[in-house]
Amino acid sequence: MTTSRLAPTDFPFDSLTPDSGAGADPVLVEIVQGSLAAVEMEVETAIGRTSRSPMIRDAHDFRAGIHDRKMRKLTGRSYSALVHPVARDFPLEEMVPGDVFFHNDVYESEGGIGHLPDLCVTVPVFHTSAQGGKPEVVAFVQAFGHHDDIGGAVPGSMPSGATSVYEEGLMVPPIKLWDAGTPVQSALRIMTRNSRMPEALAADLDAECSACLMGAQRLGELFDRYGRESVESAFDAIIDNTTKTYRREILSQIPVGTWVWEDYAEHDGVDEPKLHTQRITLTKTAADDPEGERLIFDFAGTSPQAKGPINHCGDYSDGVFLKKWLAPILRNLAETPERMAELDVNEGIVPLIEMRFPPKGTLLTPEFPAPTNARTFVILRLLGVLSGVIAKAVDGRMPADQETIRYTGVYGKDLEDRSYLMREVLGGGSGGRYYADGEDTIHVVPDSRNLPTEFTESRFPFIVESLGLAVDSGGAGQFRGGLGYEKRLRMLKDAHFMSIADRSILACWGVKGGKAGSPFQVIINPDTPQERRVDALADDEFVAAGEVICIRTTGGGGWGDPLERDPDLVVRDVTWAKVSTDAALDDYGVVLTGSVRTDDLAHDADATERERQRIRDARPEEPFFDRGPGYERLSGGSLSAEVDWL
């Protein structure tokens, strides 16, 4: 039996000052923390206003981040890439003002880049001491986002059947994109030459570089105003405060012990659908543990790397990217939802988590040149696996599952015979929680959104016939799962449809009696004799002019027994067209009276109680997690996994 291991790193967690910020002025710490948040937001606003591609400008599928000279992330509103590969290849002492670094090479990114369309720009921040001398690097401003096309086998650079990273587009290890304030035109030309959308790519890169340079100037002014020693002490204090807060408020909610849970990706684009396992063994150590109180995430038991592009390179630099990616799930253990919203995830969570990886050759530890463009199937699933394994530890006091990102789109020639690519990141419903229903149609990327109908209809050859909530998509529960989208496009010209999506067989699971949500589906010409389903992984499904594409995204899983849901809330959901009348009876046991049409919809309390008791008496013992009917199909007939039971 093989054992799991730590991921080596050349950049161990370290502080800037001898006392780790203990002596920092608390007022200045607040000022610095607010300034960092303002600079980050200003950078993102500048990118959003000056970029060109729909994915960056309109869908807002990008992030900014600010890091100190030890490569530690200081801001906590969202995840970002890593500075580590830039510092690895370019010594800080050789950097000069005006330098801009670029990379997108997954295997050279220290785990910070998941697939090649995610392009990353990094700008060092400089400060010159009062005594003069050479400017020194004191921080970094970074932006990375998902771009429309970086070459490869298919438009959009996400070939669903790729078996090698060479099919996925241009790989660029860390390079200088600007040298001392001057763009390196040869590098820019190589990148735009490899893109099917060269003008949009060039404009996006210019926006990102310029915004990060502006952000570096703003941070430089902060150092000039308060001095390097004071600002770096504040940086240490910001990170140390996060560590202390999470240890006090979050880790304390998990008892000492060990729990195991797993979930699955359903297909990899190459092999037939099957269960691609992602497993976490969670251990909470005691306060007197020789290595300290911490959470250990052990990924032993994860499936071998896939032939297709669902692999993710997680075992680099101590797993530091995955630590920060997964840590937001921990916030659900906060005392109140309001407190949860106040908790940032910066580098301060890193000392609290220990990552242990299986040997090379798994979904999380793939070997080059394994393809990775659909790595969301793994890293999004890991969010749910962590939530599930913690739920086992805290009697379900965690949200049910959600799948809130997938890529769909169309490409071809527009009405003026120009090539186009329209790609959209449609969200889905979030899981029900122990105190509230899930949210409808959310996106995993903060501030991202679906493309505006007014924009898409004016730019692309289709009509958006409808965009609304997918009725009954949220998993039934005492607290219902959030609903996914239903979007219908009517093509005005022949085109090809593309989709990179998971959860089309395996639904988002429900917990503690809650039921699974509805899976993702795409139907061409719904409710007609010409109706046909499209696989969730598709590169070039032909759609003729006049045909309708119907996309239904996933609903979140439900939390708690649906028979415990307040009947008045079920009546409300039927009135709002979130739950159908059939589901009200079948899933919730609510006997309705009247109708929405006559504005007298209500429920019969006595009949509802009798119906609910009938359902309780008839149903068998159920596991802690409900995976929906798709699991039986892929598991060989099993209704649940062994780990689904407490």
CA distance 624 to 257: 19
Asked if residue 555 belongs to a domain, the reply is no
Give the whole-angstrom CA distance, residue 51 versus residue 56: 7
Q: Decide if 448 is inside a domain.
A: no
The C-alpha angle 527, 528, 531, rounded to 5 degrees, equals 85
Token pair listed for 594 = 């009247």
CA distances in angstroms from 183 to 219, 233, 375, 455, listed in the order given: 22, 34, 31, 31
pLDDT in tens, 181-231: 999 999 999 999 999 999 999 999 999 999 999 999 999 999 999 999 999
- CA–CA separation, 120 and 113 (whole Å): 8
DSSP letter assigned to residue 329: G
Instruction: Say whether 232 sits in a helix, a strand or coil.
Output: helix
Question: Number of H helices and number of E strands within the chain?
Answer: 13, 23
Inside any domain, residue 78: yes
Q: Is residue 184 part of a domain?
A: yes
Q: How many other C-beta atoms lie within 10 A of the C-beta of residue 578?
A: 23
Q: How far apart are CA 375 and CA 115, in angstroms?
A: 7
∠ CA 194-195-199, nearest 5°, is: 125
Q: CA–CA separation, 111 vs 322, rounded Å?
A: 8
467 domain-assigned: no
261-270: average pLDDT: 97
Q: Is the pLDDT of residue 644 over 60?
A: yes
- On average, the pLDDT of the chain sits at 96
Residue 294 lies in a domain: no
Which pLDDT score, from 0 to 100, does residue 404 have? 78
Query: What are the structure tokens assigned to 111, written together?
Result: 């785990």
Strands (E), 404-472: 407-413, 419-425, 462-469
The phi, psi pair for 578, rounded to 5°, reads -95, -30
- Rounded to an integer, what distance in angstroms lies between the CA atom of residue 615 and that of residue 21? 59
Averaged pLDDT, 46-60: 93
Asked whether residue 214 is assigned to any structural domain, the reply reads yes
Contact of 255 with 313, CB cutoff 8 Å: no
pLDDT over 90 (residue 444): no
Alpha-carbon span 406 to 50, nearest angstrom: 25
Residue 77 has pLDDT above 80, yes or no: no
pLDDT for position 2:
54
pLDDT at 616: 97
Query: What are 607-631's pLDDT values in tens digits?
Result: 999 999 999 999 999 999 999 999 9
Structural domain total, the chain: 1
DSSP state letters, 187-213: HHHHHHHT-SSHHHHHHHHHHHHHHHH
Alpha carbons within 13 angstroms on the beta-carbon side of residue 457 total 10
Neighbours of 41 (CB within 10 A): 15
The mean pLDDT value for 486-507 works out to: 97
Strands 353-356 and 295-298: parallel
The sign of the dihedral angle between the CA atoms of 168, 356, 333, 511 is positive
Are 573 and 482 spatial neighbours (Cβ–Cβ below 8 Å)? no
Give the pLDDT confidence score for residue 313 in this predicted structure.
Answer: 97
Q: What average pLDDT does the segment 284-293 reach?
A: 95
Identity of residue 459: R
Mean of pLDDT values over 361-386: 96
| pLDDT the model gives residue 1 | 43
pTM of the model: 0.96
pLDDT tens, residue by residue, 509-523: 999 999 999 999 999
Read off φ and ψ for residue 73, nearest 5 degrees: -75, 130
Query: What pLDDT score does 130 carry?
Result: 79
Could you write out the three-class secondary structure of 501-548? CCCCCCCCCEECCCCCCCCCEEEECCCCCCCEEECCEEEEEEECCCCE
What residue type is 191 in one-letter code?
A: M
CA distances from 457 to 58, 150, 543 (A): 14, 25, 17
CB 217 within 8 A of CB 209: no
The C-alpha atoms of residue 116 and residue 113 are separated, in whole angstroms, by 8
127 touches 343 (CB < 8 A):
no
Handedness of CA 445, 446, 447, 453 (dihedral sign): positive
Give the model confidence (pLDDT) of 316-368 as tens digits. Answer: 999 999 999 999 999 999 999 999 999 999 999 999 999 999 999 999 999 99
Distance CA 51, CA 210 (A): 11
The CA–CA distances, whole Å, from 216 to 97, 130, 143, 281, 575 equal: 9, 19, 12, 41, 52
The position carrying tokens 């429920």 is: 603
Q: Which residues pair with 148 in a beta bridge?
A: none
- Cβ count near 640 (within 10 Å): 16
Residue 437: DSSP 8-state: P
Interval 37-55 mean pLDDT: 95
Give the closest residue to 409 by CA, choosing from 194, 158, 161: 158
> Residue 645: left if φ>0, alpha if ψ -120 to 50, beta else—which one?
beta
Mean pLDDT of the region 9-19 = 92
Is the residue at 338 inside a domain?
Answer: no
Nearest to 491 by CA among 462, 466, 460: 462
- Domain range for 196 is 26-246
